[in-house]
């Protein structure tokens, strides 16, 4: 077990442990890199873009009940916006991971802060700016838990900063609470809690070790949900769940107590006859086990829950992996860029599993509601939104160093990940409205 009581430390370890999947170094240990890099991110043949129509039938559409229009938040374009972000990281209520505080780390170009997401739809389809008061009203007396990897943490830290940006009295600001196994915040004025559970596989698993004091591969137990978050299910009213970035590395998968398959471990004897070429089936199983566990736990106690599955967030390493891949763009891509390759496959699995889980949840009436929060396309279009070298303070203060560490996975705060929370707010509006309608019936 790693430092369970200190999620900050755990996430930091993730950062350091995963140079391959998350951050490219010049000097990444070689055996993993070769197989890693041969999986072409953008050239896996079949484009897996789900068409606008197809996704129009899914839950990422938020219909405005007063209008006959509907907005497709999962597709659109980034347009210039003078207003800029709601926060800048200097507030005492906004405590973000230092590696994502790009402004404080001296990122010179600020243009990435002045864009907003314009969803597809008719002209009156706009994504409202995040309104902290509205969000707090909607989560009054509720506990919203984020479960996932460090990108999930990235999102909740954005949310905490945005909630802390209002000018109301400090009882409406998120305040850190001590809680074993999660990072937790309480909002006194609304009796609401927010939390982050670090669980990159969602199921039980041991992360591979970068040092030689543990295996260099993940051990993932596909048929056991991770108790770290599942033991607190009773207390959760809304769960924002995600996965992906920890899967594309050497792994052993276990089912029913024995090895079911191995990824990228050609030399390991235990893996004979168990080799698989990709992680898509294991990822699907992990997500299914997580969603099934939520449905079972809540249905058995007759408790309500809203589950939001946030789709995969693409990374943007460019250039040769062994020459310090980086993300140097300083503008969003135009809409022509398609979600494809690994990004598209993971996203499609997530959409499919949400549909399957919705079917299962049907028999419990409106008790368990599932939604997809499809951010893959809007994230894909923002190569400019990552810390890149500004994951560290003033990386070029002494000239250009020999080894530049780049983060092209997480997002600067403030930055495009703030938009995810604007979409989250729209989804929560829709869900809460639904519960009220149910209650009145």
Ligand X SMILES: *[C@@H]1O[C@H](CO)[C@@H](O)[C@H](O)[C@H]1NC(C)=O
Whichever of 173 and 382 has its CB closer to ligand X, that residue is 173
Those residues with Cβ within 8 angstroms of residue 35's Cβ, 6 or more apart along the chain or in another chain: 250, 264
Paired sense of beta strands 203-206 and 251-255, if any: unpaired
d(CA 44, CA 341): 5
d(CA 190, CA 298): 24
Question: What's the rounded Cα separation, in Å, for the pair 311 and 418?
Answer: 15
Q: How far apart are CA 210 and CA 303, in angstroms?
A: 41
52 binds ligand X (CB under 6 A): no
Q: Report, in Å, the least distance between residue 304 CB and ligand X.
A: 13
CA 387, CA 115: separation in Å to the nearest integer? 16
User: CA 389 from chain center: how many Å?
Assistant: 21
Q: Residue 371 is inside which H or E element, if any?
A: strand 368-373
Q: Report the SS3 class of residue 4.
A: coil
The answer to the question of residue 193 lying near ligand X (CB under 6 A) is yes
Helix (H) or strand (E) holding 379: helix 376-380
Name the β-bridge partners of 72.
61, 120
Among 46, 65, 68, 273, binds ligand X (CB under 6 A): 68
Query: How far apart are CB 402 and ligand X at their closest, in Å?
Result: 30
CB 250 within 8 A of CB 159: no
CB nearer ligand X, residue 65 or residue 68? 68
Which residue of 34, 42, 189, 191 would you call a contact of ligand X, by CB under 6 A?
A: 191
Cβ 358 to ligand X, closest distance in Å? 8
If binding is defined by CB under 6 A, does position 170 make contact with ligand X? yes
CA 369 to chain CA centroid, nearest Å: 19
Q: Does 177 bind ligand X (CB under 6 A)?
A: yes
Q: Which stretch binds ligand X (CB under 6 A): 189-197, 200-208, 266-274, 370-378?
A: 189-197
Between 194 and 241, name the residue whose CB sits nearer to ligand X: 194
Pick from 95, 107, 116, 143: which binds ligand X (CB under 6 A)?
143
Selected binder of ligand X within 35, 36, 166, 186 (CB under 6 A) = 186
Which region, judged by CB under 6 A, interacts with ligand X, from 30-38, 187-195, 242-250, 304-312?
187-195
Alpha helices for 164-279 (secondary structure H) = 227-230
- Set 306, 343, 407, 418: catalytic member: 407
Residue 36 or 186: which CB sits closer to ligand X? 186
DSSP 129: P
Mode of pairing for the β-strands spanning 218-225 and 251-255: parallel
Strands 258-263 and 238-241: unpaired
Among residues 190, 245, 316, 410, the one annotated as catalytic is 410
Tell me whether residue 193 or residue 313 sits nearer to ligand X (CB atom). Answer: 193
Q: Which is nearer to ligand X, 142 or 153 (CB)?
A: 142
Q: What is the nearest approach in angstroms of ligand X to the Cβ of residue 165?
A: 8
Q: Measured from the CB atom, is 142 or 386 closer to ligand X?
A: 142
Active site residue 329: no
Closest approach of ligand X to the CB of residue 8, in Å: 18
Query: Closest distance between ligand X and the C-beta of residue 353, in Å?
Result: 14
Task: Give me the least distance between CB of 149 and ligand X, in Å please.
Answer: 23
Closest to 367 measured CA to CA, from 289, 294, 269: 294
Name which of 421, 382, 409 is nearest 240 in CA terms. Answer: 421
- Taking CB under 6 A as the criterion, the residue among 77, 98, 175, 219 binding ligand X is 175
Q: Please state the closest distance from residue 70 (CB atom) to ligand X, in A.
A: 10
- Applying CB under 6 A, does 167 fall inside the site for ligand X? no
Give, as ranges, the residues between 107 and 126 that touch ligand X (CB under 6 A).
122
245 is catalytic: no
Residue 154 interacts with ligand X (CB under 6 A): yes or no: no
230 to 289, contacts with ligand X by CB under 6 A?
A: 235
Q: How far is it, in rounded angstroms, from Cα 429 to Cα 160?
A: 18
Question: C-beta of 16: minimal distance to ligand X in Å?
Answer: 28
Residue 247's Cα: distance from chain center in Å? 14
88 touches ligand X (CB under 6 A): yes
Which of 90, 273, 300, 441 lies at the binding interface for ligand X (CB under 6 A)?
A: 90
Nearest to 387 by CA among 417, 418, 420, 411: 411
Please indicate whether residue 150 is annotated as part of the active site. yes
- Residues 319, 258: Cα–Cα separation, whole Å: 39
Q: List the catalytic residues.
A: 150, 407, 410
Q: Where do contacts with ligand X occur on this chain (CB under 6 A)?
A: 57, 67-69, 88, 90, 103, 122, 141-143, 170-171, 173, 175, 177, 179, 186, 188, 191-193, 235
């Amino acid at each position: 077990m790693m430092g369970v009581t200190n999620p900050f430390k755990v996430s930091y370890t993730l950062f350091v442990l995963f140079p391959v999947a998350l951050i490219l170094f010049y000097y990444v240990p070689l055996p993993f890199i070769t197989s890693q890099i041969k999986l072409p991110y953008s050239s896996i043949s079949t484009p897996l873009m789900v068409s606008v129509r197809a996704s129009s039938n899914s839950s990422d559409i938020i219909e405005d009940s007063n209008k006959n229009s509907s907005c497709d938040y999962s597709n659109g374009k980034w347009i210039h916006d003078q207003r800029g972000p709601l926060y800048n990281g200097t507030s005492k209520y906004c405590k973000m991971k230092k590696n994502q505080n790009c402004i404080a780390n001296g990122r010179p170009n600020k243009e990435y802060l002045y864009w907003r997401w314009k969803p597809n739809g008719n002209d009156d389809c706009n994504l409202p700016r995040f309104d902290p008061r509205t969000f707090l009203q909607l989560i009054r007396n509720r506990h919203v838990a984020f479960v996932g990897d460090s990108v999930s943490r990235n999102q909740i830290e954005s949310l905490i900063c945005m909630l802390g940006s209002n000018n109301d009295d400090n009882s409406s600001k998120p305040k850190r609470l001590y809680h074993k196994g999660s990072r937790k915040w309480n909002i006194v004025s609304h009796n609401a809690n927010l939390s982050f559970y670090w669980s990159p596989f969602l199921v039980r698993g041991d992360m591979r070790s970068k040092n030689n004091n543990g295996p260099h591969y993940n051990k993932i137990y596909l048929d056991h949900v991770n108790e770290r978050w599942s033991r607190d299910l009773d207390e959760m009213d809304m769960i924002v769940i995600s996965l992906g970035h920890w899967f594309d590395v050497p792994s052993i998968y276990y089912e029913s107590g024995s090895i079911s398959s191995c990824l990228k471990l050609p030399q390991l004897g235990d893996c004979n006859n168990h080799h698989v070429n990709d992680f898509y089936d294991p990822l699907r199983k992990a997500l299914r086990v997580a969603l099934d566990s939520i449905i079972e736990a809540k249905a058995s106690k007759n408790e309500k829950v809203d589950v939001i599955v946030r789709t995969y967030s693409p990374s943007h390493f460019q250039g040769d992996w062994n020459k310090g891949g980086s993300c140097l763009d300083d503008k969003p891509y135009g809409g022509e860029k398609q979600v494809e390759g690994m990004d598209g496959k993971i996203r499609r699995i997530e959409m499919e599993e949400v549909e399957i889980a919705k079917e299962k949840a049907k028999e419990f009436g409106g008790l368990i509601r599932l939604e997809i929060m499809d951010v893959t396309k809007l994230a894909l279009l923002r190569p400019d939104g990552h810390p890149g070298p500004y994951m560290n303070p003033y990386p070029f203060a002494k000239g250009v160093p020999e080894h530049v560490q780049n983060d092209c996975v997480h997002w600067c705060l403030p930055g495009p990940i703030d938009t995810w929370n604007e979409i989250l707010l729209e989804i929560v509006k829709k869900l809460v409205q639904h519960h009220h309608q149910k209650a009145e019936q």
